[in-house]
Each structure stands twice: as structure tokens, then as C-alpha cells.
Chains A and B, each alone.
Chain A
Amino acid sequence: MTTVLDRAAPPAPRLARDRRRWAWGLAAVALTAAALAGSGLLSGPVLNRGGFAQFGRFAAAALRPELDPGFLAVVADSVLVTVAYAVLGGGLALLLGAVGAVLVSRRTWGRRRTGWLVTRGLLAVPRGLHEAVWGLLLLNVLGLDPWVGVLAIAVPYGAVTATVFADLLDEVPRGGYEALVAAGAGRGTAALYGLLPPAAGGLLSYSFYRLECAVRSAVVLGLIGAGGLGYQLALSFTSLRWEQVWTTVYALALLCLLADVCGRAVRRRVAAPPSPGPGRDPVLTASVLAVVGLAGWAGWFLALSPAALFSGRTGEQLSYVAAAAWPPSTDPSLLGDVATTAVDTLLMSVVAIVLATAGAVALAGLAARPPAAGPLRRALGVLVRAGLLLLRAVPPPVWALVLLFVLLPGILPGALALAVYTLGVLGRLVGEAVEEADRRPPAALRAAGASPAGAWLYGAVPALAGPVLALALHRWEVTIRDTVLVGLLGAGGIGVLLSARTSAFDWPAVTTVLGAVVLLGFAVDVLGSRARAALR
């Protein structure tokens, strides 16, 4: 018929497997197997039968939280303190992140891989340490000042935000940017016109997501003594007042729900502006102004004074701690402890992220809002999303305390606590990825007679697998830091060592342990980044 049909058949091409992906996949399977074996989940008893009664009392209190007006007033005040820390810390972090993103974007460095690796490495130091660790360290320098809580959030969050902003900018298709550069635009202008507009939605929605995370971090800082809801939670927990614990947890969940609803509303406006007319969207402008206004109020409410940062006493403390902390301790028995606890921490984080990812994928279909659904499916969706919200509203150390009722001490309670919490976060993120995915390919396959499983495998999974694994890897980097936090409050891993050395004011040992924590975080960061590159 045409020349195309008459051409002789060329030799069949050979399937060339992507060896890099296979290597990453096999390595992930091996690490998971090692972590599950090491956690004791597959061997020996893990249940603590003695704690079941206490757990029963704790669970029963969920239905009758403390509603005494006096206590409610205390909780309300704690909420304000937590919000103030969250908004100030989160807002400062976004400013730091926007500046930092330019410094760690692949595009800034181009082919100069060394420069990119060095700046990423530098950021790994602030982000490698958990907010609570920063809190502990800053407490020793600034004393009991509200700046401790604000900076403890702003420093690590700023570093995380910088890497995520940079990744978002790097993941934008290059076509538009390169066309502008080819047409003679400068790199900055090209980024403004070719990179920022396609990334703006992602950047704004991540900013609101970070502010929501800041609420949870503010709670965690309370657990180590910075005041607010976390402090209240810790007080009630240690005095075994389960009714009060639940009141605080509900307050927290409500606060998170509020942040969640606001963030989602903003993101919807970003994705689908209601009218394409000229001028700014009033709701978006109002939300940004509201955040700025809240930050101003928070500064007044916490009586934050810039002078405290630059006072002579601060300088003295800083130089004392710095002098005492150097050189780091190289005591062989300490190094041995560091190594074993570091391995434990790694295994905990792997168990946590694997379980959380599996759970998030299993729940994704239910957590995503379908475009059209019956009332039953809708109700189930609301239930699942509310469940996920509760999981992430409660900080991991509190989950660890709860799990210690029913599990024997070891690395499993900590790992499960992190898994439960991370499931709450990942479940939402994966659900959103599912919502945002193109529904046409699976619909086309269904229209051609494919089974639901077949349409899912060939129509939905290919587009979702990469983003979901990338999310899981990002969360793994967060989880390794949270593992240290869980340890700080006693659930095993390198955090236990850190808290012991800090309370003994053994500064050289603290430096060694901190170095190990940062290295661990950096290693996971590099692994995650490499693995994500293999996914692209």
C-alpha cells in the first residue's frame, strides 16, 4: 500500500533494562528485609501484655475528654502560644527557604556538580538536626527566651524548604526556560518567566503545607519545654490524666484541621482561579496578608525582642559552649555506642517509612476525593481523611508513649510510632497525588474493556509510581530526623545517647553525637536524592 508497509522487518529490538533502577530496587528490598529482621517484628515476643489494662483506660478516656472550664482556658492559651511559635517559625523558615532555594537548585550550578553537592551538604547540617535538638542547643545559648522556639523551627525548616523549593524548580519541564535563555534572556529573567510561573502553584501549596507542619513542630517543642500545647500534653501524660491528654489531642487535631482546610482552600485557588480576569485573586492576597498579620501579632504576643539575639550574655554563652564542645570526643567506647545506635536509628526509620508507604498506598484510593461518588463512598472518604488527620496531629513521641503500653521496649515501638505518624502525612500527600493525576488513561482503558486492576496498573500506576516513591523518599529524610526526636524522649536509637550526653553537659561527646546525626541525615539525603534521580 505504501512504502512503509513494504519495508522489510528490521531485527526486533532488544529490551534494555534500566540497570540503575533495578539496582536501587534490589537495594531497597534488601534494606527493608534487614530492617524488618532487625526490628524483632519477625522474631520473639513484642507484645507487652501487662500494659493492656492501662492502654484500655487510656483509650476509654477518648470518649470523655476533660471539659472543665479552667482546664479549657489553659488549653486555649496553649493553643495561642503554639500558633504564635508556628507562624513566626514557619514564616521565617519560608523566607530562609526562598533564599536558600536559589543556592541549592541544580539549575544554579548547571554542570558544576561539586558546587551543588557542597551547598546541599551545608544545608544538611541545619536540616539534619531535628527542631527539638535545635531547641535543646538554643536553650543552652539563649536561655529561656521565646527566640528558642522560633529559631528551633525556622532553622531546620528553612533548610528543608530550600531543598524542596529547589527540587520543585528543578522538576519543572525545562522547555520554557531554555527557550527564553536561547532567545537571549538572562538566567534570572528566564527563571522568573519560564520557571516560576509553572512552579508557583507547587511553591505556594508547599509553603502552606510547611506552615501546617510548623504547628506540629511547635507542639513537639512544647514537649521539650517551650510551652504551648505540647507542654500541656507532656504534663497531662506524665501525671496519667488521660482525659486531659485527649482534650489536648483534640485541640491539636482541630488546629491541624483548620490549617489543613485553609491550606487546601488556598491550593485550590492556585490550581483553578475562579475568574481569569486581570488583577490578583482577593482570597490568595488575603491569605498571604493574614499570614503576615499573624506573624506580627505573634511577635507581640511572645514579646519577641531582636535585642535578645545580640545581647552580651548570648555571645558569652555561645562562646562558652563552642569552646567546650571542641574538639569532639573520640573515646572508643563512645564511638562504638554511636555506631550501634546509628544503625538502630537507620533501621527504625526504614521500618517506619516502609510501613507508612504501604499503608498510604493502600489507603490512597479512599483518601482521594473522587470526581463523582455516592454518599457511602463520600462518607468513607471523610472518615479515612479524618483518621489520617488524627494520626498526624499526634506527634511521634506521643505515639511512642502510647505504643509502649502494649509493646515491649526496643526499636519496634519507636519505629511503629514513626510509621503511624508518617502514615498520616504520606496518606494525605499520596491521596492528593492521586487526586491530581490524569484520570483519562485509566478511563480510556476501562472504556476498552480492561478490568479495574488492569486499568489501575497500566493507566494510573505508571504516572503515580514515580511521584509516590519520591514523596516516600522525601519523608524518609524527615523520618530519620524524627527518629532522633523519638529517641530524645527515650524510645531508642541515637537520640537516647544525645539526650544523655546533653543532660550530663558532656559537650565534646554531644559534638560527636551531633556529627553522627548530621552525617546520618546527609547520607539519607544523598541516597534519597540519587534514588529520586533514578526515578525520573
Chain B
Amino acid sequence: MRFGGTTALSGVDLAVARGERVAVVGASGAGKSTLLGVLDGSVTPTAGEVRVHGVDPTSLRGRELRRLRGRTGSVRQSLDLPGQLRVVHNVNAGRLGSWSAARAAWSLVRPQGTAEVGAALHRLGLADRMYERTDRLSGGQRQRVAVARVLLQRPELVLADEPASALDPALADTVLAVLGELAAERGGALVACLHDPALALRHCDRVVGLDSGRVVLDAPADSLTATALERFYGVTR
């Protein structure tokens, strides 16, 4: 995957292989979220080239593009979960790529595939919240709902923007482990923006550091120590 210059990102030249778990680190405003946006197609680069799953998304239209996009799942920083929906619907929204419009509409009346939704929520410790309204949940619980949505989507490339920012250490570990397993299960990759160096080192194979939209660090996780990474944060902060 390659990207080229926007004001948020410039001269970024990165390739992520199947099976890799990449942590993207850097201070706020370094371009981490823009990088993920470029990957999931919500941000179009003004210059340069992006290939996702080996294909340039801008060359595709309609159904083909949807199929490609269905292979990438995101947990966004803003989560983007309509609070008025029950948790079960927000999780089921991960399956919209494979559901017909009629099935999607009927599911809002009679929730479909509740067994899978329940299993995904159970992995994240939220099984008892399945039928609650999403806006009644805490920030950390909503974050896990967004993760459960990606679990149901079963994408090959998993993008996660601060997926554990509102979670306690044990849950943060769970969420990253679940996301890593999800990517591995489908033979794909995980790209996660993380603020916690320890989490990055525990759950990722590779660490990419961004500063002002440029790659300033790209190293295997086992060559880095927590203190070295903390020093990196110290520099960019």
C-alpha cells in the first residue's frame, strides 16, 4: 500500500503484508487517523497511489467497490454508532455488506443472527447488553460494541483507531487480542493506532512511527524496548 502527499500525510511509503500486525504510533495530529482513512477509502489522497488488497479502490465502482470495502473493517476513533439503535443492530451493521436491503430492514424489527451477535459480545464481556440502547452505554462499552461490529463483519484487513482508549488494561488486552485473532483467522493484517507503547509491543509485530505526516520509525516490535518507544513518544509530544 502506498500513499502520497496530502497536507496531513506526505512521502509516506508503506507496505503491509498478510499476517502482519502493525502498530501506528505518534503524537496527536501526526496523521495516524488520516492514514487509516486513506486505507478504508473514506479519505481520498490528493496525490499518490493506494492499493488495498492489491487493488486501487478508485478504479472500482458499485458492487465491486462494495465487495472490496467489505474486506476492510474499521474501529474508528469517533466510533460512529447511532446511539438510538440497540446494541444488537449496531453490531449487526457489520454484516450489511452481505445482507440484502430487505433483510437489513427486517432485522431492525426482528433482530437476525442473534447467536453470532451474542457470541461476539460475550468475547468482549458485553453479552448482557445486547438489547440495550447504544447511547445508554459507557464510552468503553460503546468502544467494544464497535469492535463487535468488526467481528461480525469478518474483514481481512482490520483497521483500529485507538480501539482501547477508554478501556481498563485487562479489557484493552482482550480487545487487541480479539482484533489480532480476527485478522489472523482470515489470513489478513491488523493496523492499529495506539497511544500505549506497552500495548503496541505486546500485540503487534511491527511499529510504525509518524511525525507531522512522515514516517520516522519503522521497526519490528521485538527490536524495540518499551523505554525506547516511550522515548519516541517523548520526542514527538
Hey, which bits of chain A sit against chain B, CB under 8 A? Answer: 1-5, 7, 9-10, 12-16, 438, 440-441, 443-451, 453-455, 457-459, 462-463, 465-466
Contact of B69 among A16, A449, A462 (CB under 8 A): A449
Whether B74 is near chain A, meaning CB under 8 Å from some CB there, is yes
* A95-B156 Cα distance, complex, nearest whole Å: 60
B96 touches which of A1, A10, A454 (Cβ 8 Å): A454
Query: Which residues of chain B (73-92) have a CB below 8 Å from chain A?
Result: 73-74, 76, 78, 80-85, 88-90, 92
Which residues of the other chain, B, contact A440 by a CB distance below 8 angstroms? 76, 78, 80
Determine whether the beta carbon of B101 is less than 8 Å from that of A466: no
Q: Which 8 A-B pairs have the closest CB atoms?
A: A449-B70, A449-B97, A450-B96, A454-B96, A453-B101, A462-B82, A449-B69, A444-B80
CB <8 Å contact, A449 and B128: no
Quote the shortest CB–CB distance from A453 to chain B (angstroms). Answer: 4
Cβ B171 vs Cβ A447 within 8 A: no
Besides the known contacts A13-B128, A443-B80, 10 further A-B residue pairs in the complex with CB atoms under 8 A apart: A1-B174, A9-B118, A10-B127, A445-B96, A447-B69, A448-B97, A450-B66, A450-B96, A450-B97, A458-B82
B174 touches A4 (CB 8 A): yes
A451 touches B153 (CB 8 A): no
Look across to chain A and name the residue whose beta carbon is closest to the beta carbon of B155: A448
> How many of chain B's residues touch chain A, expressed as a range?
35 or more
CA gap between A195 and B85 in the complex, in Å: 26
- B127 near A457 (CB under 8 angstroms)? no
- CB of A4 within 8 A of CB of B84, answer no
Contacts of A451 in B (CB 8 A): 66, 96-97, 101
Give bound CA distance, A438 to B78, whole Å: 11
Minimal beta-carbon separation of B168 from chain A (angstroms): 10
Query: Of residues 10 to 43 in B, which have CB atoms within 8 Å of A's CB atoms?
Result: 40-42
B1–chain A nearest beta-carbon distance, Å: 16
Are B96 and A14 in contact (CB-based, < 8 A)? no
- Segment at the interface with A among B104-112, B211-219, B229-237: B104-112
Q: Contact check: which of B84, B97, B101, B124 meets A463 at CB < 8 Å?
A: B84
Contact of B125 among A4, A447, A466 (CB under 8 A): A4
Chain B's interface: helix, strand, loop or mixed, by majority? helix
Please indicate which of the listed interface residues A15, A448, A455, A466 has the most CB atoms of chain B within 10 Å of its own CB. Answer: A448
A-B pair number, CB within 8 angstroms: 123
Q: Does B205 contact A (CB under 8 A)?
A: no
Q: Are B42 and A447 in contact (CB under 8 A)?
A: yes
Q: Which residues of B contact A13 (CB under 8 A)?
A: 127-131
- Tell me how far the C-beta of A468 lies from the nearest C-beta in chain B, rounded to whole angstroms: 12
Q: Which chain A residue has the least Cβ–Cβ distance from B98?
A: A449
Task: Please report the C-alpha to C-alpha distance between residue A446 and residue B153 in the assembled complex, in whole angstroms.
Answer: 13
Known: A1-B173, A5-B174, A9-B122. A463 touches B74 (CB 8 A): no
Is residue B143 within 8 Å, beta carbon to beta carbon, of the partner chain?
Answer: no
Chain B, 43-83, CB within 8 A of any chain A CB: 66-74, 76, 78, 80-83
Please give, as numbers and ranges, the residues of chain A lying within 8 Å of B118 by CB-CB distance. Answer: 9, 12
Minimum distance in angstroms from A1 CB to a CB of chain B: 6
* Cα–Cα distance between A198 and B123 once the two chains are bound (Å): 39
Question: Given A13-B128, A448-B97, do A1 and B177 touch, yes or no (CB 8 Å)?
Answer: yes
Q: In the complex, what residues of B have CB within 8 A of residue A2's CB?
A: 170-171, 173-174, 177
Instruction: Give Cα A3 to B177, complex, Å.
Output: 13
- In contact, A446 and B69 (Cβ under 8 angstroms): yes
Complex Cα spacing A451 to B89, Å: 16
Contact yes or no, B96 A448, CB < 8 A:
yes
> Which among B40, B76, B93 is the interface contact of A450 at CB below 8 angstroms?
B93
Q: Which residues of the partner chain B approach A12 to less than 8 Å between Cβ atoms?
A: 114, 118, 127, 130
Closest Cβ–Cβ distance, residue A239 to chain B (whole Å): 53
Chain A residues closer than 8 Å to B170, beta-carbon distance: 2-4
| A443 and B42 contact, CB distance less than 8 A | yes
Q: How far is the CA of A451 from the CA of B95 in the complex (A)?
A: 11
B82 pairs with A448, CB closer than 8 A: no
Q: Beyond A447-B74, A448-B94, is A10–B174 a contact (Cβ under 8 Å)?
A: no
Nearest Cβ on chain A to B83's Cβ, whole angstroms: 8
Q: Pick from B70, B90, B108, B123: contact of A448, CB below 8 A.
A: B70
List 15 A–B pairs whose Cβ atoms lie within 8 Å, in order of A's numbering: A9-B122, A12-B130, A443-B42, A448-B97, A449-B66, A449-B97, A450-B96, A450-B97, A451-B66, A457-B101, A458-B104, A458-B108, A459-B82, A462-B85, A463-B83
